[in-house]
Amino acid sequence: MNAVGFDLGSSSLKIMEASKEGDKYRALQALEFANPFGVMIPPDAAQLEQLAGMLKQVLHEHKLPLGSIRTALPESLISTKIISTPTLTDAELASAIDWLAEQHIAIPLEELKIEYEVLYRPDKSKSNDQNMRVMLIGVPKRVVTSYLKVFELMEVEPVVMETQVLAALRPVINDQLPTTLLVHMGASSTELVIVHEREIVFVYSFASGGRLLTRSIERGLNLDTQQAEEYKKSYGVDPQFLEGKLVRILDPVMRLFVNEMQKALQYFTGQFGTLRVKRIVFSGGGANLQGIIPFFASQFDQEVVVANPFDRFVSDVKTPIPTDRAPSFDVSCGLVLRDI
């Protein structure tokens, strides 16, 4: 059965349809459409209906299978915590999870939908470690309700709903992956995730993304939003263009990203001693920024790369795969890679 990854962002909608053939994943469609409302879920009921109508039309025009849609919630709307706790059995952890959520998530328990996953549990016969690590995810119930309302209006029920962080990691994780910092740059927020030996050890979200870069260009060059977007895509932080003027305009915002990334790396070193992050991977629409690799390579000792989630798929020459926009599809690709 085919699977459809449905990534509804504040800037655009990304859709990936794929099938699994043996141990290979075949790309069938990769689609991107602008979100005219600029927010993931419009608060206005009329706009919400318009968005749902637009999305429903997309599904039918492209003959997407309605019974296999997977979707994801952005980290900016939820709370993900990696916590350390004395080693518990599954039953003990299930009994304690509400108490742990109250300790680590600053939202009243009655307003939350809680999910959790054991990341590490020590083998007492082989380790002196007394603590286990758990990923705790708290989603405000109002967020789930409003997000599902879009699909209800589309007359579709998602078969999977997870976090964007988990989906974005799936295309880039493999057994050979060194300790990695994933920088997922969306339009309105950026997520930082550190993965060590396939285990998530750090998750952090901050409210800066590609839209902040666009606004800086608008102000710096006195352009409208569409013109600023084109300048960002065409010239970005490459100093050879416009005599480096755009680089100077964007520098304060880029420094903000650098500072947050440095904090994440310092946290990892503080927690794991001599271990170091070896690689930095950029994903999300913001990773399409011209000159992003040389800019960050000049700021960090780690290898810096941009994710290409399409590398995990085979495709026919007839299948239009927008490889020039590959980082934008990391979440939608990750969703279909989840157990087709």
Residue 233: the pLDDT is: 87
User: In sequence order, what are the residues at sequence separation of 6 or more whose Cβ sits closer than 8 angstroms to the Cβ of residue 177?
Assistant: 195, 198, 279
Q: Do 313 and 23 meet the contact criterion of CB atoms below 8 Å apart?
A: no
Class of domain 174-306: alpha beta
Q: Where are the domains of the chain?
A: 174-306
- Cα distances from 230 to residues 140, 221, 233, 288, 303, in angstroms, run 36, 12, 5, 12, 28
* 127, pLDDT greater than 70: no
Q: E strand or H helix at 97, and its extent? A: helix 90-104
**Distance of alpha carbon 190 from alpha carbon 209, whole angstroms:** 6
pLDDT band at 95 (very low <50, low <70, confident <90, very high): very high
Which whole number is the average pLDDT over 36-60? 92
Residue 173: the pLDDT is: 86
- Cα distances from 309 to residues 62, 166, 195, 336, in angstroms, run 21, 14, 17, 11
Beta-carbon count within 10 A of 110 CB: 6
pLDDT band at 317 (very low <50, low <70, confident <90, very high): low
Residue 126: the pLDDT is: 65
Six-digit token string for 170: 């799936």
**Distance of alpha carbon 340 from alpha carbon 336, whole angstroms:** 7
Which whole number is the average pLDDT over 185-203? 93
